[in-house]
Structure 1
Amino acid sequence: MPTPAGGQATAGGVSNHSNSHVAPTHTTRKGFCSVRHGQAIILQLSNFVIFTHHMGMSIVIPAMVKHSVPPGQSNVSTESPSPDFQDYWNETLKDSKAVAPVYDWNPEIQGIILSSAYYGSLLAPVPSGYVAGIWGAKYVVGAGLFISSIMSLLIPLAADAGVTQLVIVLVVQGIAKVIVLTGQYSIWAKWAPPAERSQLNGIATSGTLLGTCIIILTGGEICHTIGWPNVFYIFGGIGCACCLLWFSFIFDDPMNHPFISTAEKEYIMCSLAQQDYSPSKSLPIKAMLKSLPLWSIIVFHFCYYWGLSITTAYIPTYINSQLQMNLRDSGILSTLPFVAGFICMILEGVLADFLLSRKILRLLTIRKLFTAIGAINSSIFLGSLHWVRSSHSITIAFLVLSASSNSFCVSGCLINILDIAPRYASFLRGITQMSAFTAGSISPTVTGVLIHLDSEFGWRNNFLLLAAINISGLVFYLFFAQADVQDWAEEQTSTHL
């Protein structure tokens, strides 16, 4: 059963009697030159790699086809691209012919190719999270990272072989990417002291925004200069190099790490002394289904990723169509929200842990406050875009402020699983990923329909709907969220998966 709503959350989301275990090693907490922060940086690089793989095909496909439609326009918007937009892609395509093959893929085939990476997204998160929780993230997540990198290297060869072979490679890569994004949470259940969870997770998660930013900035230029296959070779090669770091320095438990100091090891183990994170093949399914704190996290994940999927997919299109900017300018401006989000995600994680370690705010208050800041401010900025579209600078500023605000949620609801059920963090991460992927598969379609039905007010209606969904998820989370380890996450049960 869930912990009562009136329960007090301590610095780690564990019972108050655990404070005595943390105090003796408090001084080892200071500083960022630690093995646990090294783990976070390697995870950041891994997430960077995965998101360059995730975005790569969307960036590259205009240079792969003979008669391409600019990214973000096919099947999502009925608006015609500006002349500058179309001219740039025609120039890119013409120059790319000399250095890379092109294919006669119609828009329907392009849609199948772009969708193929998502085919396993709704099925893979839960099994991969469960397996990572039992076997550990070192080999499960490492295998996913390696497979995704190898598939990236094989994409040009698969494209030459045919559409079917390319789709198979992308499906396998999509499953591998899900394994990495889901299974990594089991690392923080054993490595992150409760007072440092936000900053460690913020560092690691920020790699997703950094990867998105870099692939947007460099992908088109690589296609333009040395050919589209090199996008997959370069980032696939970076992924393989990252695998060497992963298998050399990532360990499931600080007790088994060969380079960790005794002081740091004792600090981590003492901080987690009252936390039951031992692997278990048993899952308290019935208790999970009845847990409102868990449902509040799942619901907010759906609402959060509804908006994130739209902004990630449509920012270039919105800037180009509403601000009438050419592709070069809109491509550069489109990266600014990701850069801002990347920086703020790290800083906000440090801020959350500062407030917690200094006992300025309780853990539950921090989770709710940061979630509210992210959801409310991003909703306001995105919901107001329609009324400031006449000003380019204000529109870009609102997009940047929205992304900066939205990153607060990473230290709010999005890490809350580690507070209420660290033992099942990886499995539950799979559940929330399913909720997120469901939102991501629906929201772009809804956006396209709204723009198609009303060319004048379609964007306004879309952002207002986004804000309404965001606020609804926030309200549900604020009512039912908890930061204590739940009873069902502490006890062995006989209910099996």
Structure 2
Amino acid sequence: MMATMTELSPTAGKTKYSQDTRVDESLVPKKVLSFRSTRYGIAFIAHFCNFILTAQYAAINISMVAMVNGTSHQSQFNGSTESLPLDALGGSNDAPNSLPAEAPVYDWSPQIQGIIFGSVNYGMMLTTAPSGYLAGRIGTKRVVGVSLVVSSLLVIFTPLAADLGLAFLIATRIVQGLAQGSIFGGQHALWERWGPPCERSRLCTLALSGMMLGTFTIILLGGIISQTLGWPFVFYIFGGIGFVYCLLWFVLLYDDPVSHPWISVTEREYIVSSLAQQNGFLSAFPFIISWVTGILGGQLADFLLTKNFRLVTVRKIATFLGNFPSSVLLVALSYLTPDYVTTMTLLVVSCGLTPFCQSGIYINALDIAPRHSSFLMGASREFGYTAAILAPTISGFLLSQGPEFGWRNVFLLLFAINLSGLIFYLLFGDAVVQDWAKDRKLTRL
């Protein structure tokens, strides 16, 4: 939701700026507003890119059941990269249908599986933000296209990497995360040039909804493919689909309507004229402030620990500093007298305070469940991506009520969500290793 507000933030605090960028849809030809228009075609292209991105991201989560589905004889293979021979399972007639004989099986503990699941997120954290900047400089077509090629090749390479050893697999996953983070972060630069303000919500939502379709598809088909063909084919199929789709991406996608060879003159002029009020520097400035405060927040948290503050207290202080003041500033923004300087100042301060949460609730999984922290942080990140899908839709609906009252309702809703989450964390948050996350020694009788 922050990304959506920041992108439109220059119009949030001053009504006349909002009115300047609004386009009377009645003056635009109907064919320009239809799903047959070029910009909706761009949204569908991004939709299937996100479909492939999410399917490739979650492929190993679905395949892991088959990758570690050993039998009582598994230990004699030293738990590794050997394929299960038929006679080891009692003959070909006794082989389980869910585990094809040619598929390798690995002896990975739950801790190792958690590391494998979470390793892709290490790469994604490093490239999501820089890729957005890079896409703005050299174009989304190149950044996302090259990243999709790399991601698809690494997905195809995953079974071989697992066969070469755990270190190869983790390294492959990290590099894959670098590529996938670039896909996710780089694609948003499209809408700076393709998304008229009055249509940006529906275009972004259409593009991002491909993630949900990708998750549905990999869950539905991943198990079937693993059962019938073997788990490596999950990676071969979805990696191959991504690689083939790259060809369509480079042929069909263009970074802006001016360079598109097939767009109509009417639609091109409509898009270009509707984006005349954009200011990329003002949209990007809050994020450089966030980068600084995120680093300072980590220093502050460790400093408080040296002063004998309890760990849970430090986590809650950091979460409060990153959550409550920024939410209050956004609500205050909608009630202040419209002023451009005041609007931008409050938005920058609000976004700049949010990264304090990185030293609080964002890393709290390391405190309560070190063994499963990679999985928990990865799962929470996946859950958080739903906000990127819901925020444009809900914001677009609220903004249809009018530029002034619409933004006020957006900020009030954000404040209510943030405050409820903060109160819940302050009441029930902990920083002690939970019983379910502790190592248990099994005693044989």
Q: Give the TM bin, normalised by the shorter chain.
A: 0.5 to 0.7
Asked whether the 8 Å contact 2:201–2:393 carries over to 1, the reply is: yes
Match of 1:449 among 420, 428, 434: 434
Q: Percent identity?
A: 38
Q: 1:27 to 1:56 in 2, by over 3 A?
A: same
Deviations 1:29-72 (A, max 9, x none): 5322211111111111111111111111121112112549xxxx
Cα distance in 2 for partners of 1:196, 1:114 equals: 36
Asked whether the 8 Å contact 1:21–1:270 carries over to 2, the reply is: no
Query: How is 1:348-367 mapped onto 2 (pairs within 5 angstroms)?
Result: 353=396, 356=399, 359=402, 362-365=405-408, 367=410
Q: 1:19 to 1:57 in 2, by over 3 A?
A: closer
Provide the residue aligned with 1:42 in structure 2. Answer: 45
Match of 2:271 among 247, 265, 268: 268
Query: How is 1:167-316 mapped onto 2 (pairs within 5 angstroms)?
Result: 167-277=170-280, 285=288, 291-294=345-348, 296=350
Cα distance in 1 for partners of 2:357, 2:129 equals: 19
Q: Greater CA deviation, 168-177 or 364-373?
A: 364-373
Asked whether the 8 Å contact 2:287–2:351 carries over to 1, the reply is: no
Cα distance in 1 for partners of 2:151, 2:434 equals: 33
Query: How is 1:88-487 mapped onto 2 (pairs within 5 angstroms)?
Result: 95-277=98-280, 285=288, 291-294=345-348, 296=350, 353=396, 356=399, 359=402, 362-365=405-408, 367-368=410-411, 371=414, 449=434
Q: SS of the residue aligned with 2:154? A: helix
Q: Which has the higher contact order (CA 8 A, sep 6+)?
A: 1
How far apart are residue 345 of structure 1 and its match?
5.4
How far apart are residue 377 of structure 1 and its match?
9.8
Cα distance in 2 for partners of 1:298, 1:284 equals: 7
Q: 1:215 to 1:159 in 2, by over 3 A?
A: same
Asked whether the 8 Å contact 1:63–1:228 carries over to 2, the reply is: yes
Asked whether the 8 Å contact 2:70–2:105 carries over to 1, the reply is: no
Q: 1:167 to 1:6 in 2, by over 3 A?
A: closer
How far apart are residue 219 of structure 1 and its match?
1.5
With normalisation by structure 1, the TM-score equals 0.56
Match of 2:33 among 26, 30, 33: 30
Letter in 2 for 1:368: F
How far apart are residue 228 of structure 1 and its match?
0.3
Q: Greater CA deviation, 366-375 or 111-120?
A: 366-375
Asked whether the 8 Å contact 1:223–1:231 carries over to 2, the reply is: yes
Q: SS of the residue aligned with 1:184? A: helix
How far apart are residue 181 of structure 1 and its match?
0.5
Cα distance in 2 for partners of 1:300, 1:201 equals: 23
Asked whether the 8 Å contact 2:287–2:352 carries over to 1, the reply is: no
Q: 1:106 to 1:140 in 2, by over 3 A?
A: same
Deviations 1:285-330 (A, max 9, x none): 46996954246457779989x79x99xxxxxxxxxxxxxxxxxxxx
Cα distance in 1 for partners of 2:282, 2:248 equals: 25
Asked whether the 8 Å contact 1:92–1:224 carries over to 2, the reply is: no
Asked whether the 8 Å contact 1:200–1:349 carries over to 2, the reply is: no
Deviations 1:418-465 (A, max 9, x none): xxxxxxxxxxxxxxxxxxxxxxxxx9x979837559xxxxxxxxxxxx
How far apart are residue 22 of structure 1 and its match?
8.0
Provide the residue aligned with 2:13 in structure 1. Answer: 7
Asked whether the 8 Å contact 1:148–1:173 carries over to 2, the reply is: yes
Q: 1:228 to 1:301 in 2, by over 3 A?
A: farther
How far apart are residue 99 of structure 1 and its match?
3.8
Asked whether the 8 Å contact 1:28–1:263 carries over to 2, the reply is: no
How far apart are residue 204 of structure 1 and its match?
1.1
Q: 1:15 to 1:248 in 2, by over 3 A?
A: same
Letter in 1 for 2:14: Q
Q: SS of the residue aligned with 1:117? A: helix
Letter in 1 for 2:408: T
Cα distance in 2 for partners of 1:297, 1:66 equals: 46
Cα distance in 2 for partners of 1:296, 1:289 equals: 13
Asked whether the 8 Å contact 2:149–2:246 carries over to 1, the reply is: yes
Q: SS of the residue aligned with 1:53? A: helix
Asked whether the 8 Å contact 1:28–1:267 carries over to 2, the reply is: no
Q: 1:102 to 1:26 in 2, by over 3 A?
A: same
Q: 1:252 to 1:448 in 2, by over 3 A?
A: farther
Cα distance in 2 for partners of 1:22, 1:278 equals: 28
Q: 1:206 to 1:20 in 2, by over 3 A?
A: closer
Q: 1:31 to 1:23 in 2, by over 3 A?
A: closer
Tell me which structure has the larger Cα radius of gyration.
2
Q: 1:267 to 1:232 in 2, by over 3 A?
A: same
How big is the alpha-carbon RMSD for the aligned residues of Structure 1 and Structure 2?
A: 4.8
Asked whether the 8 Å contact 1:9–1:362 carries over to 2, the reply is: no
Deviations 1:76-130 (A, max 9, x none): xxxxxxxxxxxxxxx9976314241112333443333223212223322232222
Cα distance in 2 for partners of 1:148, 1:250 equals: 18
Structure 1 runs not aligned, ≥5 long: 69-90, 311-337, 384-442, 454-497
Cα distance in 1 for partners of 2:273, 2:125 equals: 37
Asked whether the 8 Å contact 2:158–2:172 carries over to 1, the reply is: yes
Cα distance in 2 for partners of 1:92, 1:296 equals: 59
Cα distance in 2 for partners of 1:371, 1:124 equals: 27
